[in-house]
Amino acid sequence: MLATLARVAIVRRSGLPRGPCSRRGLCTGRPQADTHNVMKPLEGVKILDLTRVLAGPFATMNLGDLGAEVIKVERPGAGDDTRTWGPPFVGTESTYFLSVNRNKKSIAVNIKDPNGVKIIKELAAICDVFVENYVPGKLSALGLGYADIDRIAPHIVYCSITGYGQTGPLSQRAGYDAVASAVSGLMHITGPEDGDPVRPGVAMTDLATGLYACGAIMAGLIQRYKTGKGLFIDCNLLSSQVACLTQVAANYLIARKEAKRWGTAHGSIVPYQAFKTKDGYLVVGAGNNLQFATVCKILNLPELIDDCKYKTNHLRVHNRKELIRILSARFEEAMTSEWLHRFEGSGVPYGPINNMKNVFAEPQVLHNGLIMEMKHPTVGKISVPVTSMDTPLHTK
C-alpha cells in the first residue's frame, strides 16, 4: 500500500492546521471545549472523496469537521475546478476552493489510466466511505462504479451525487447549481415580486444536496454498524431542491396554487419582509396576532391593532398592499439603529440586512464562534466560516 501511495503525485495539502488563538483557531468570548481528550464523532472513519466543485466537497468537509479522515482525489495537473475560480485569490489559492476543502488530504490520480483505477480500488478497500459526483455511468465505464467497488469492499458506503439522479430523461446532463435551481422551481420563486427570476446569492441547491449527502452517509455508517454491509446512496441536486420547496410545493400539490415571487416578503404571512429605513433595511416578522400588535405599538400605530382589516393574519394577507404601505412609511422615518433599539426585547423576530463586514462583526456571530482562523501551508493565516456546535470541530 505504501508503494502504491508513493506513486501518487501529491497536489497540495488542502486541509489546514489548527489556528493559534484556541484549539478551534478562534478568538472569542465563547467558552471553548478542551479537545485534547475528546474523541470526535467520526474519528477513525476514512472517506475517499472523488467529488469536485461544491455539493460533494461541502459534504465531505462537514464529515471531516466531525473527525473523519478525508482523502480528496483530484485530476493531475489541474485539480478541482474551483482551484481556478476567482478572483478573489490569496496568493495562488482560490478563496472559493479554500471555503469547502479544509480537513482533507489531496492526491492526484489519473482515473482514466488502469494504474490510476488500481490506486483508487486499493484506497477504497481500506476506506469506509466512497463519495463521487460524476455523471451516472462514467465511473462504471472506468471500473469504479458501485458494483465494482462493492466487489472489493462490501463494507463501503458509496454515495453518488449527481445533477438529476441515476436514471431518467435528464440523468446524463451535467448538474450545476444555477441550472438545477431553475429546473427545480427555486429560481421561479426567488426575486422581486414584479421582476425577473433571480439566482440565490449562494448555491443553496448545491449546499442542500451536500447536507442531505452528509446525513445520508452518517445514516449509512449506522446501518453498516448494524448489518456489517455497505450500501449505495443516490443524492442529486434536483431531488434535494424539490424536497426543499416544502410549503411552496405543498401549496401547489394540495391546493393547486401556483407559486410566485415575493421579494423579501412571504406569501402566507403579513407582515414578514424587509422594510426600508432611513439608512438601510430591517426585516420584521409577525407570525401571530400578538406579535402584530407588538409591532404596531413599537411603530406607534396602535389604531391598526383593532382595525377590522388587520385583526387576523388571513385578513392581513388579504389586505397586504395597504398594510405594507402604512408600515413602510413609518419605518422610513428612523435609522436602522433606532428601530433595533425599539424592537429589542419585544419578542418579535427582527434584524438588519447585513453586508459581509457587518455579518462578521455581529456580536452573536462572534459569540457563536462562527469564524475560524487557520494557518494555510502556502498562504499563511486565513479565516473561514464554520458551524456552531457543542461537539468540537476537527481542524487540521
For 36-93, the pLDDT digits (tens) are 567 899 999 999 999 999 999 999 999 999 999 999 999 999 999 999 999 999 989 9
**pTM for the structure as a whole:** 0.88
Give φ, ψ of 186 to 5 degrees.
-60, -45
- Alpha carbon of 89 to those of 67, 293, 357, 358, 389: distances in Å? 28, 49, 18, 22, 29
Candidate list 177, 206, 234, 279, residue with the active-site label: 206
Rounded to 5°, the CA angle 94-373-376 comes to: 45
Please say if 307 is a catalytic residue: no
Q: Tens digits of per-residue pLDDT, 216-274?
A: 999 999 999 999 999 999 999 999 999 999 999 999 999 999 999 999 999 999 999 99
- In the predicted model, is pLDDT for residue 12 greater than 60? no
Residue 49 DSSP symbol: E
pLDDT attached to residue 9: 41
Q: For residue 132, give Cα distances in angstroms to 14, 67, 171.
A: 18, 20, 15
| 18-22, 41-45, 203-207, 212-216: the lowest-pLDDT one | 18-22
DSSP string of 18-43?
Answer: PPSSSTTS--SSS-----TTPPPTTT
For the chain, the 3-state helix, strand and coil shares in percent, each to the nearest 5, are 35, 15, 45
| CA 105 – CA 119 distance, rounded (Å) | 15
Burial class (CB in 10 A: 0-12, 13-18, 19+), 240: buried
How far the first Cα of the chain sits from its last, in Å, is: 24
Residue with cell 482515473: 111
